Chains A and B, each alone.
Chain A
Amino acid sequence: GAVVSQHPSRVICKSGTSVKIECRSLDFQATTMFWYRQFPKQSLMLMATSNEGSKATYEQGVEKDKFLINHASLTLSTLTVTSAHPEDSSFYICSAVSGGAWNEQFFGPGTRLTVL
C-alpha cells in the first residue's frame, strides 16, 4: 500500500514551453501533497505544500506564477512549469500524506525535467 506515482518519469522540452507533471496517490486519499526539487548531487528542497481543494502554499523564493500547482482531487496533484528555461532543469519529486495528524510522507519516483 501507500504507493505514489509520477508521470512522466522523464521529459525533455524546449525553452519557453510549459510542462505538466502529475502526482497520484494510487491506493490512498492524500489530503496533502508536497512538491520538492532536487538539483544534481544536492538535497531535496521543498517547493510547495498542496492541500486538496485549496491554494498551494509556496516556500520562500519559489515563484508561484512559474510553478503552478493544482490539487483538484484527493488522489491527484499537478505541477506545471510554465515558460520553462534551462535553469528549471531538475529532478522533481512529489510526496503525499493522508489524514490530519502527522503522517509519514510517501514519495513518488520523481520526474527528470530537461529544458533545452
Chain B
Amino acid sequence: AQSVTQPDIHITVSEGASLELRCNYSYGATPYLFWYVQSPGQGLQLLLKYFSGDTLVQGIKGFEAEFKRSQSSFNLRKPSVHWSDAAEYFCAVGGRNNDMRFGAGTRLTVKP
C-alpha cells in the first residue's frame, strides 16, 4: 500500500518569503500525487496534482510542485508567500483502486 511522509509538522515563514513544503511517498508503481490545503474547520481544496507528463506541475494560488522519482518526492513550492496562505497542507498519494493516503500535514504560519 502507498504511504506519504511530510517531515515538517509546522513551518513559519515571513510574508513575501519563499516556501517549500516537503513530501516523500512510497508506492510500487507510478504514483498519482496531490497537494491539498485545508483552512481551520474547512474541507480540502486541491492545489495541484501529478498524474504523468511534465514533472513540474503548476497549481492554483501560485503554487507549484516537482515530482522527482529518484528521490520519491513531490515538494510544494511558492516563490512569495501571502498571509492568506496560512493553513494546513496535505500531500497525498493515490493508489490503483482510487484510494488515497494522506500525509500527516504541515501547518504553515505566515509572519507579517
Contact = CB atoms under 8 A, between A and B. Distances in A.
Interface of A: 32, 34, 41-46, 49, 91, 93, 95, 97, 102-105, 107-110, 112
Contacts of A41: 107
B90 A105 contact: no
A110 B43 CA distance: 5
Contacts of A109: 42-43
Contact of A43 (B32, B94, B96, B102): B102
B57 interface: no
Contact of A110 (B32, B34, B42, B103): B42
Contacts of A93: 43-44
A46 B97 CA distance: 13
Interface of B: 32, 34, 36, 41-44, 46, 49, 51, 90, 94, 96-105, 107
Interface-centre pick from A42, A46, A49, A107 (highest chain B CB count, 10 A): A107
A31 to B, nearest CB: 9
A106 B42 CA distance: 14
Given A93-B43, A104-B49, A110-B42, A43 B104 contact: yes
A34 to B, nearest CB: 7
Contacts of A91: 41
A43 B43 contact: no
Contacts of B43: 93, 107-110
Contact of B94 (A44, A102, A110): A102
Contact of B97 (A42, A43, A49, A104): A49
B51 to A, nearest CB: 8
Contacts of B105: 42-43
B104 A103 contact: no
A21 to B, nearest CB: 13
Contacts of A45: 102
